[in-house]
Structure 1
Amino acid sequence: MRLSNLADYAVVTMSAAARHCGGVRVSAAELAAETGLPTPTVQKLVSKLTAAGLLRSVRGAGGGLQLARPAAAISVADIVEAVEGPIALTACVDAQDCCYDDACSLKPHWPVVNNALRGALASIPLTQLSGAPEMELTQ
């Protein structure tokens, strides 16, 4: 399994945002400059990450972006799911049009595999990737 570029960029963007933890707000343009990602890509990601409740956007003077919760409470799984949807190695778990569905002996086992993968990604907090302090809270 390989993450899409967008999911990879989301982890990079959130790691950069986490380094600004503690009430400092940052713009999408600043995150783009820090990460080397194109500004339109970061803006698209910011929209998805905000909708997922991982980033908070504040308008007006002194506005900008900040983590919606402490970096230690955001996992890689949270970020990937914000961009990609539920974590699954195969589409057949939810697919209704699989031509092998009736004869598939593996289908009942895929949820176990998918849960293990999600659990592994959920065990990695954003602080581990960003160098952000474990206990620092957002304001």
Structure 2
Amino acid sequence: MLRISKLTDYGTVILVHLANYERDQLCPATDVAAATHLALPTVQKVLKTLAHSELVVSARGTDGGYRLARPPEQITAAEILDALEGPVAITECSEEDSHCELEGDCLVGSAWKKISRAIRGAMDDIRLSDLRNPPNEFPLRYTILSKSGHNSRLTK
């Protein structure tokens, strides 16, 4: 089953919370924990990872805290996933620098790579601002393989 980790889910919740603040306003980790109902150590761990990935900026001191590094319209769901879990790769051979021992004989590797790229493309189109204020529907603009084996293009 394809599923993001709890930490990635928590990271998204934390980023959505920070997106509600003014661009230059810092939010202490304790406030993030209280508002999101997450344990403070978990919030601190996630914020540290997000800061390392340059999705949030931190400031130390009595007036310190965290804020988004960029406007929510400029942060993609793919970047959030990359920061907390690593790049989207359905299979090991779908990873950028993979060297599968079966690559020369494999008949399905290119299909898995195509699926990984489609998922990545969908996540690149979803912004933190969309997650904060979700539209009724996200646009479907990806080529899918129909049951007949023919490519079809969905656009909504």
Structure-2-length-normalised TM-score: 0.76
1:54 corresponds to: 55
Between the aligned residues of both structures, percent identity stands at 36
Gaps of 5+ in 1: 132-139
Within 5 Å, which residues of 2 pair with 1:128-139?
A: 128-131=130-133
1:28 and 2:50 correspond: no
Q: Which has the higher contact order (CA 8 A, sep 6+)?
A: 1
Normalised by the size of structure 1, how large is the TM-score?
0.84
Question: Given the alignment of the two structures, is residue 108 of structure 1 paired with residue 110 of structure 2, yes or no?
Answer: yes
C-alpha separation in 2, matches of 1:6 and 1:21 = 25
Following superposition, which runs of at least 4 residues in structure 1 exceed 3 angstroms of deviation?
94-98, 100-103
Deviation string for 1:28-69 (max 9, x for gaps)?
121111111111111111011001110000122422100001
Equivalence for 1:92: 93
Distance 2:86 2:72 in 1: 20
Stretches of structure 2 lacking an aligned partner (at least 5 in a row): 134-156
One-letter code of the match for 2:23?
A: G
- SS of corresponding position for 1:92: helix
Higher helix share: 1
**Alignment: residue pair count:** 130
| Two-structure CA RMSD over aligned residues (Å) | 1.7
- 1:76 and 2:77 equivalent? yes
Larger radius of gyration, structure 1 or 2?
2
